[in-house]
Amino acid sequence: MPRHHANKKYYTNRELFLRVLWGFVEPIFFRCSPRLLYGWRNFILRAMGARIGKNVQVFPTVRIMAPWLFEIGDHSVISWGVKVYNLGKVTIGHDTVISQYSHLCGGTHDYDSADFTLLRTGLTVGNHVWVAADAFIGPGVKVEDHAVVAARAVVIHDVENGTVVGGNPARMIKKRNRP
């Protein structure tokens, strides 16, 4: 029988408070906002501690678990139905597109520990990146600048600068041709 540690704390009291607050704010003020009110949703995310660049478009059906652990650069887009499971810090660069139904997973469990210890890994998506529809970016992964993650790819290892990856698990398809 696994031993559970009652005194093990994964979240600070501040984070617990913010999670409760976000539980009220997100479904009413974020998800119910009309599609084109990007500025409104950016305001809400900033009020919850996110670092949001200029001219960012976050669609109303995006699910961000912890805005206070979220950062996105200028002119980036997060499309319909994207899940940002950010137990750790998730950073998205500038001029980057996260396409519909993608999943950015910034946390996991240590399957070698008796109690499956929570790992708050976060992840990073660089500048000028395109994460195509329904892709999965795994815990602790870094997708470097100018990369493309093909639709439905499962990325469990870092993606090098200017690389196109696809498949499950994702592997390099080619280097990107760009000026």
Residue 1 reports pLDDT greater than 50:
no
Question: Domain coordinates of the chain in residue numbers?
Answer: 13-173
> Token pair of 81, please?
């139905």
CATH level 2 (architecture), domain 13-173: 3 Solenoid (2.160)
Segment 91-103, tens digit of pLDDT: 999 999 999 999 9
pTM, 2 dp: 0.92
User: What is the average pLDDT across 15-40?
Assistant: 97
Q: What is the DSSP string of 16-40?
A: HHHHHHHHHHIIIIITTS-TT-HHH
The rounded distance, in Å, linking the Cα atoms of 168 and 155 is 8
